[in-house]
Amino acid sequence: MSHDHDPSPRRDADPAARARLLHERAFGRPAAAAAEAPGTFSLIGEDAAPAGGTAIIGKAPLAAAVALAAREDDAVVVVDERSPDSPETLSSEDVARIQDSQQPGVDDEGRRTFPGPPDGGRAARLAGLAGALYQAQLRGRGRPGLTVAVASDV
């Protein structure tokens, strides 16, 4: 009697555990790190907060998580548990272009401005991760690539 192990992430597992399982299944190796963040919602003040005002934020019982590892090339490859067989890939040039477009600016009246989310899928939205790791000196220039698995209840 055979008991084949199903490596698919279980929906009843927490998002970080699901992201780690998805990473191993999609990329054939374990993730080097994983992080989880709770879902949040604004009760009041979401328009005032960017201008220095007060907001009341609630924490949802749902969460999102990523599991990631370095790559030997410069690609950022993202797989989402909602479409595990369709990874998105960005080159380092794509990542740099997205990061450049996401820098805050200043308007004509001297107020800080913030760009909206980048165009594209999950990979475009997560492209800042590679740049943030580099800027924090956690990644060198020689290997800017990442594999990222995303799991979310949100």
The string of DSSP letters for 8-29 reads SPPTTS-HHHHHHHHHHHHHSS
* Average pLDDT score, the chain: 83
pLDDT tens digits for range 86-131 = 899 988 788 778 878 878 889 999 998 888 788 778 888 777 666 6
Residue 74: pLDDT over 60: yes
Query: Computed from CA positions of residues 105, 108, 111, 116, in that sequence, does the dihedral angle turn out positive or negative?
Result: negative
Per the structure block, which two tokens stand in for 125?
């939205």
Q: Could you report how far apart the first and last alpha carbons of the chain are, in Å?
A: 39
Contact by Cβ (8 Å): 67, 78: no
Burial 23-41 (b: 16+ CB within 10 A, else e): bbbbbeeebeebebeeeee
pLDDT tens digits for range 37-48 = 999 988 888 777
Fold of 15-152: Ribosomal Protein S5; domain 2 (3.30.230)
Domain ranges of the chain: 15-152
Please tell me the pTM assigned to this model: 0.73
